[in-house]
Each structure stands twice: as C-alpha cells, then as structure tokens.
Amino acid sequence: MVHRINQQTLQGQESLFKLFETLPSPVCLVDKSLIILYSNPAFTALFNNTTGSTYHQAAFHRDTPCDCCPAQQVFRYDSCEVCPQSPHGNNFDVYHLRFERVNAVPLLLQFWLDHSAPHSNIHPLFEGEKFSREILDALPEHIAILDRNGKILTVNKPWREFSRSSYQAPYRSLEGENFLELCRHAAREGDSAIEAIGRGVKAVIDGTMIDFALEFPCSCNNRNQWFMARASRFTGHRQQRTVLTYTPITELKQAEKEIEKLAYFDSLTGLPNRLLLKDRLDYAIDWALRERESLAVMFLDLDHFKVINDSLGHSAGDELLKSVAERLTGCMRKTDTVARLGGDEFVVILPNVKRISDVSSLSRKILYSLTSPFYIKEREVFTSTSIGISLFPDDGSDAETLIRNADLAMYQAKEHGRNASQFFSDEMNEKLLYRLEIETGLHHAIEQENFFLEYQEQVDLSSGTVTGVEVLLRWNHPEKGLLYPNRFLDIAEETGLIVPIGEWVIRTACQQNRRWRDLGLPPILVSINLSPRQLLHLDLVETIQNALHESRFEAESLQLEITEGSVKGHFKQIRTVLNELSSLGVNIAIDSFGSGFSSLAQLQHLPLNKLNIDHSFIRKISNESKETAIIRSIIATAHNLGLEVIAEGVETEMQYNFLKRYNCNFIQGYHFNKPVPAAEMTTFLQQKNETQDNSA
C-alpha cells in the first residue's frame, strides 16, 4: 500500500510504485526535510511505523541526520550517493537517488540493499542503481528503459512477449534498437498513433514534458487491443533515463463503450436516446447555421399503442417497438438520426433539407412502411403512426423548440384522424401558448376563487312552474374577463384540474340550494354536470356525500348529468359509480342525448331518471325537418323506458309549442331566461313563489 503519498506525486508513476511494492528491499521516498512521504512494505516491516517521521528517526532513532548521511548532498548536487554500510550497523547498504516529482519539486528515494543476501540476477538500469529483472518481469505492464538518445537499454518479459505478437513497429522493438527512429519510420508510413507516441517520448527525453500518456490501438495476436503508453524521466549520477510503459486497457475501453451505450442509447431498440438526440440536434443546428441550410425534425407517436400493450402484454409491446424502430431506420439516409424518446415516441432528425417536398415524401414513406402487419407472438398486429414536423429555422432556432413544435404538430395529426403527418404552423404555437396560459390561470383561479356559478331555470311544460335549475360554471379571468366553459373545460379535463374544480362546484351549488330553502323557497332540483374524469375519480361518491352532509341538502334534490361520451370505454366502472350515487337518492340524467350516438339498449342498464335532448336537434325544429321525427322518437322511447325528457336550448315559440305537443316533460333555454348569477336567480325564484302564492 502507499503510505501518505498524495495523488499528485503518484500521477504518471503508477508502474514505478507498483514495482516498489513488490521489491524485497526497503524503499522510502522523502522530501527536502527528510520526512518520509512513502515507504514500501519491506521498509515498514523493518522499521515499524514510519508515518510522518524522518527517515533517520525511523531507521536510526535520531532526531538529526548523522554526520555521514549523504542525503543533503544528493539534493544539492543532483547526484546518486551510496552509504556502503548503514551507521546503524546492520547488513544494509543505503542508496540515495534524486527523484523529480510532477511539479518539478525534487524528492529523494532511498534503497536499502541487503549485501548479506545471496547474489541475484540484477540488471544495471542506471549507474549506481540496481533493479531486479525478476521484479520487472513480474509486472503486468510492458516496460522499456531508454537512454537520452532513445535507444532501448532493456525491456521486461511482457514487453518481449508483446513484441513477438505485434505486427507493428515499434511495438516489436527490443534491446539495442532506437525507439525514436522506429517511431519516425512508422510515422512516414502514416501511423498517426505511433507518431504521437514518438513525439511524446522525445519531449520527455528532451525535458519539455515531465511525463507523457496516450491511449492507442494495436493489432496483437490477430485482434485489436488498446494500451495506455506512459513515459517518465529519471536522473541518476547525471545520467538521464526514460521509463516507457504500455498498460493493457482493452477491457477498460470495452467497459467505457458499454457505459457510453447505456448513457446515449436506448436499451430496448438500440436507437439514440433523448440525451444523444439533443447532442446530434444541437450539432445539426450549428452546421445548418454555418452552411445556411435547413433541417427538419419529425415527432412520431404510434397510434393505439396502449391497446396493443394492454391486450398482448408489455413483452409484445417491446417486440413491436423494436420492429417499428427497424422499419423507421430502413427509411432513413445515413446522415439522418432516428431516436427513441421513451414509450412509443420517436424523433427523426433530417439535416440538409433542400425542399419541403422531400420531407413530405419521407413522411409518406414512413407511414407506408408501417402499413404491412407485424408478427408478434405468432399474431398479426397492425399499427400506424402520427407524425408532426417542424423546420429549422422557420419553426425554431434551438433543439427544445423544434422538438416541442413537432410534438404539437403531431397532436394535430392525431386530431385529424391519425395515420397522417402535419407540419407545424404559427396558429398551433398560438394555441399552445393559450393552453399554457389557461392551464396556469386555472391553478390560480382555484386558489384565488375566481370561479362563480350561474343558474338557468328548467320549466315543467304541463304546469309552467320552475322545477329546477342547471348549474353553469363561469370564470372571472383577471386579464381576459368573463370566460365560458368552452374556453377552458377541455384543458381542465386533460390536466386533471377538473376534479378540484368540480368539487368546488358541487359544494357551492349544494350550499346555494340550502340558502334558498332557508329563505322559505320551495324545493327545486339542482342539476350539476359531471365530466368523464370526475366520473372515474375514486373519491366522487365520498365528495358528494360530504357536500350533501355539510349543506344539509336532500339527495333527492340533486341531479347529476353525464354525457354519452363519458360512458364509452368505461361502461362497467361508471355503472358501478352511478348505482352507488343512485342508492344515495341522487337523480341521474344523460345530458345532450343524441350527440354521442349512444345505444338506448345500453343506457337502459344505467340508473337513469332523465334524458336531456341535445340543443343541436332543438335548433333545427321546423315543420319539415328530419330532426322533428328524431325528437318525437327520442321522447317516445324515453317515456317507454320510464325516463322523463328535458329539451335544452329552447329559444322560440315554435320550438316551445312543438315540444309541448309531443309531451316533452321539461324545457330549458333563452325562451324563458338566460343563465344568471345566484343573486338574480334568488330574486327570480322569490318572485315566482309570490306569484304562485297569490294565484293560489
């Protein structure tokens, strides 16, 4: 182990210190104050604990150097000195060698050689220094010692074996050959790696570099391997020598390659991942700027991938993604990039775009490539993709903007029927900015209570009395003013904000109805619309129970309206929720019936009390319109199922008379009144109540 030696001292000298660790002779490294910075195991075993002490304290138990200690002379004159016998009276000769550290601060190496031990095979590397050839041969690094002219003085066993297996000079060089000459000869034949090694070694020999290191590939034993070449200089008795080592690093390079693959490539498809996509797109943008070219970014999302993943399993979904990746790659040029962002999303970079028509052609090629079936788990599977396209520099000047705009265009392609491509436009960007602004505003609106409710009465056609009100949400936006639901409800639904907004609506409407009852007004039915996300929320029933309890409001006076579309795809789950609500006594109505093409046979399995005819049919009522026949049929069928019918959006006397003639139960619309705030509705209900009392 290395004792007290810092990383700066070790830098570039790892092989040398490995050699010291294996030497049987004690070795230590001291600074100008003769404090021990390093001691090998043999030194530590001989002199016990040496950490932080001077070498004369450790070896001779003296606080000051002895008179015959040559250490100061070695530092002063850069010489190699030997004390023939240690003053301690033991059997060791002590060798002192000046050592240049990386920062050029001189240090001193002490070698304690046991002259009483049997003579071993020692090879002279420096005058006055002796290293064991057996030790050199045992090291895994390939080691060569060069003189100041670049001549190889000696090599160890791994170097000799490497020279026999390598087909490249100077890697097959041996003692007596000039390493620098061999490098120059190889450089003339175009070997740039050897040329760089030669320049580095010469710089170390000349003193212009303290040490040198370079990774290089080499053909050895008919396979490519990687090595780290290092060169460092030693001086002894005014004789300069250079140690050159080759360390095998093939496994390390392979590990680095695997790490790079994990960091930059998708593990499933092998395509570049998000990180590498960003790097390549940044590079493509820089190139396009310099060359004044255009480039395109495609954002791809598979259509109905979730259905395949859920029905066949995730392993089948993975197989499909790999097959799609192969087909996409087959459509591209060598200069194009196909990356996987995650899930079923892919991004394509098309540099050097000359014509927009070329981009359109490629998008059609991609769409066509996915039309043929995929064979997954012995099944024939079909899929398609929606493609959004953005162009540089028109649609963005940076990678993030181009990908975002292509993503937005992709959603437009899905809205237009899927299996299609769509170029980005400024209108899409305006739509995106509006969406972001509304989404941010919705968060603040919940916190700052910027919402309020309006109410529109529902009239019994047989008696003309107000039997209920529909609750309508309004948003008092601080900048945009009054906003109606069609401006923000879709965004609230997509982001999930409809859940807390819906809870507020339910609580507020129940509390308002309680106030009307406290004013002595007769009971009326309060109708509240529920969105699909609210219906699927696990806390819906509990939320309604709490609202009824807190407001002391009867469940029979609350009506929840759901659209036909909310039932599709989740029929069993929603039926369970509606049955729970119905068991509380809450009324359930299908809102805007006729716009969602629902099956009456399916709806009869829901606990419904009322059916609302969509206003689009009511608007078209005339003496000859087909809608009149449809409305008559809806009213008759609903009555046969035991449901009451309410017509929405009634505005004219003709519509009123028609609905009354065909026994529609209730109507709602501007024919009677527009939606009004709670205070106005309170006044209206009070006036109606007084009129009814007077007539009675």
Closest CA relative to residue 291, chosen from 392, 361, 363: 392
Asked if residue 478 has pLDDT above 80, the reply is yes
Phi (first) and psi of residue 305, to 5 degrees: -65, -35
Q: Roughly how many angstroms between the first and final C-alpha of the chain, as a whole number?
A: 108
* C-alpha span between 455 and 474 (Å, rounded): 10
Query: What number is the average pLDDT over the span 213-229?
Result: 79
Instruction: Please tell me the predicted confidence (pLDDT) of residue 682.
Output: 95
Instruction: Please tell me the predicted confidence (pLDDT) of residue 600.
Output: 63
Instruction: Please tell me the predicted confidence (pLDDT) of residue 221.
Output: 63
Q: How many CB atoms lie within 10 A of CB 695?
A: 6
Query: Greater confidence, 218 or 673?
Result: 673
Asked if residue 559 has pLDDT above 90, the reply is yes
Question: Per-residue pLDDT tens for 378-432?
Answer: 888 899 999 999 999 989 999 999 999 999 899 888 888 888 888 998 777 677 7
Instruction: Please tell me the predicted confidence (pLDDT) of residue 67.
Output: 64
Asked if residue 15 has pLDDT above 90, the reply is no
Query: Greater confidence, 138 or 101?
Result: 138
Closest CA relative to residue 399, chosen from 290, 299, 291, 324: 299
Asked if residue 235 has pLDDT above 80, the reply is no
Query: What number is the average pLDDT over the span 513-521?
Result: 94
Instruction: Please tell me the predicted confidence (pLDDT) of residue 116.
Output: 62
Which domains occur in the chain, in start order? Answer: 7-119 (3.30.450.20), 135-253 (3.30.450.20), 265-424 (3.30.70.270), 445-695 (3.20.20.450)
Query: What number is the average pLDDT over the span 13-27?
Result: 74
Query: Greater confidence, 24 or 213?
Result: 213
Question: Per-residue pLDDT tens for 479-488?
Answer: 899 999 999 9
Confidence of residue 168 (pLDDT cuts 50, 70, 90): low
Question: Per-residue pLDDT tens for 114-130?
Answer: 666 554 444 444 443 44
* C-alpha span between 16 and 244 (Å, rounded): 11
Asked if residue 3 has pLDDT above 50, the reply is no
Confidence of residue 551 (pLDDT cuts 50, 70, 90): very high
Instruction: Please tell me the predicted confidence (pLDDT) of residue 88.
Output: 45
Asked if residue 165 has pLDDT above 80, the reply is no
The answer to which of 302-306, 337-341, 506-510 has the lowest mean pLDDT is 302-306
Instruction: Please tell me the predicted confidence (pLDDT) of residue 182.
Output: 85
Question: Per-residue pLDDT tens for 257-311?
Answer: 777 667 788 889 989 999 899 999 999 999 999 888 999 999 999 988 888 888 8
Instruction: Please tell me the predicted confidence (pLDDT) of residue 126.
Output: 40
Exposure class string for 476-490: b at 16+ Cβ within 10 A, else e: ebeeeeebeeeebbe
Confidence of residue 79 (pLDDT cuts 50, 70, 90): low
Residue 200 Cα distances to 205, 215, 217, angstroms: 9, 12, 16
pTM, 2 dp: 0.53
Q: Where in 151-238 does DSSP place strands (E)?
A: 152-155, 211-220, 223-236
434 CB-near residues (< 8 Å, 6+ apart):
none
3-class SS of residue 688: helix
Instruction: Please tell me the predicted confidence (pLDDT) of residue 160.
Output: 83
* C-alpha span between 527 and 101 (Å, rounded): 87
Query: What number is the average pLDDT over the span 639-662?
Result: 92
Confidence of residue 51 (pLDDT cuts 50, 70, 90): low
Asked if residue 5 has pLDDT above 60, the reply is no
Confidence of residue 467 (pLDDT cuts 50, 70, 90): very high
Cα dihedral 44, 46, 47, 48 in deg (nearest 10): 60
Asked if residue 376 has pLDDT above 80, the reply is yes
The answer to which of 66-75, 190-199, 244-253, 612-621 has the lowest mean pLDDT is 66-75
Confidence of residue 369 (pLDDT cuts 50, 70, 90): very high
Residue pair 2/16 in contact by the 8 Å Cβ criterion: no
Asked if residue 1 has pLDDT above 50, the reply is no
Q: What is the mean pLDDT of the chain?
A: 83
Confidence of residue 89 (pLDDT cuts 50, 70, 90): very low
Instruction: Please tell me the predicted confidence (pLDDT) of residue 81.
Output: 52
Asked if residue 463 has pLDDT above 50, the reply is yes
3-class SS of residue 600: helix
The answer to which of 3-7, 576-580, 586-590, 659-663 has the lowest mean pLDDT is 3-7
**Residue % of the chain over a pLDDT of 70:** 84
Instruction: Please tell me the predicted confidence (pLDDT) of residue 598.
Output: 55
Closest CA relative to residue 301, chosen from 351, 362, 339, 347: 347
Confidence of residue 13 (pLDDT cuts 50, 70, 90): low
Instruction: Please tell me the predicted confidence (pLDDT) of residue 624.
Output: 61
Query: What number is the average pLDDT over the span 491-517?
Result: 93
Asked if residue 577 has pLDDT above 90, the reply is yes
CA angle 160, 166, 172 (to 5 degrees): 50
